[in-house]
Amino acid sequence: MFFFESIPWYSVVMGMVILVALIALNEISRRSMIAGIACFVVLPLFLSFFIWPTTTTFEGSTVNTWFHWAKVYSVIAACIGFMAMRYIKVVGTNKWMLFFPAFILGINIFEAVLREFQTSGFDGLHDGMMIVGGSWNIVNGIAGLLNIVTICGWAGIYITRDKNKDMVWPDMLWFWIIAYDLWNFAYVYNCVPDHSFYAGMILLLSCTIPAFFIKKGAWLQHRAHTLAFWMMFVMTFPGFVDTSMFAVKASGSTTAMWSISILSILANIAVFVYQVRKIRKNKLNPLKHELYTDLKAYQEVGQ
């Protein structure tokens, strides 16, 4: 395959198992406050003190980097913050707290952008993995910055009135999600190539499928939950993506890295141009207004 050395049938099956497991865990954790606390407060505390100090520090570990530690705790913080918005009324209705989802999302993307720029200077074995840095990292890093700039409409975030109390963001529509998915897959492929089958393709599908077919408008909630579960899993069992029989190695092709990075930046430029045209045409302030209220996709999830 173009992006990978080979994908054995049993790795494909395992990918499907992980996909279903992540979607199921997301559904469990989003439908119960108690389950959410158990998953995103109790479990991370236990892992932090009793498991990760051992599983992440062996020689040649690919998860004992500043990025992996920053990512696991920032996404857990996001899950806890989102739960506060969902289950504590005074928090969920505070207009200033509505900016929190956009802020934490932007920080998570920016962490990856910094890593992308850092990786552009790599060539060889880094953090236990063969990485080939180059101009494609810069191109995709710029795509990530555009992805941050086009985050919009947080003033319209609301908590549903049903028993699930989902955090819905109507202005975060399919075209931004696809641009994000392309950027994120390119980032993982460029910077953590041997993890990209699971941490890129499968993980992104685990939040995009629910956002399109299970609970529309709640993509960021789905993304935070599935990413948190994946990060906790890979920090606990790092050998799964590195040395197990299910590991899928990247091809290391610079053509593949260029292809996905160019696709990423083109998609994000398209969203940026479309958004600027919307703002100018309708005389909207992106810091105060929702931008896509006239679109059918917005109306399907709006209040």
Question: For 186-199, how does the pLDDT look when each residue is reduced to its tens digit (9 = 90+)?
Answer: 999 999 999 999 99
Q: With 90 as the cut, is the pLDDT of residue 85 above it?
A: yes
pLDDT tops 60 at residue 130: yes
Averaged pLDDT for residues 19-32:
97
Per-residue confidence band for 66, with pLDDT thresholds at 50, 70 and 90:
confident
Query: In this predicted structure, what is the pLDDT of residue 302?
Result: 63
pLDDT tens per residue, range 263-296: 999 999 999 999 999 999 999 998 889 999 999 9
Q: Check if the beta carbon of residue 58 is closer than 8 Å to that of residue 51.
A: no
pLDDT at 139: 98
d(CA 166, CA 186): 29
**What's the rounded Cα separation, in Å, for the pair 259 and 38?**
41
CA–centroid distance for 71 within its chain = 10
Contacts of range 8-16, beta carbons closer than 8 Å, 24 or more positions apart: 10/245, 10/246, 11/197, 11/246, 11/247, 11/248, 14/246, 15/197, 15/198, 15/201, 15/202
Decide if pLDDT at 120 tops 60: yes
Contact 51, 236 (CB under 8 A): yes
Report pLDDT for 186: 98
Query: Mean pLDDT over all residues of the chain?
Result: 94
- 83-87 long-range contacts, CB within 8 A, separation 24+: 83/33, 83/36, 83/37, 83/40, 85/159, 85/167, 86/33, 86/159, 86/165, 86/166, 86/167, 87/33, 87/165
pLDDT in tens, 133-176: 999 999 999 999 999 999 999 999 999 999 999 999 999 999 99
> Which stretches of the chain are assigned E, i.e. beta strand?
123-126, 129-132, 158-159, 167-168
Question: What pLDDT does 170 receive?
Answer: 96
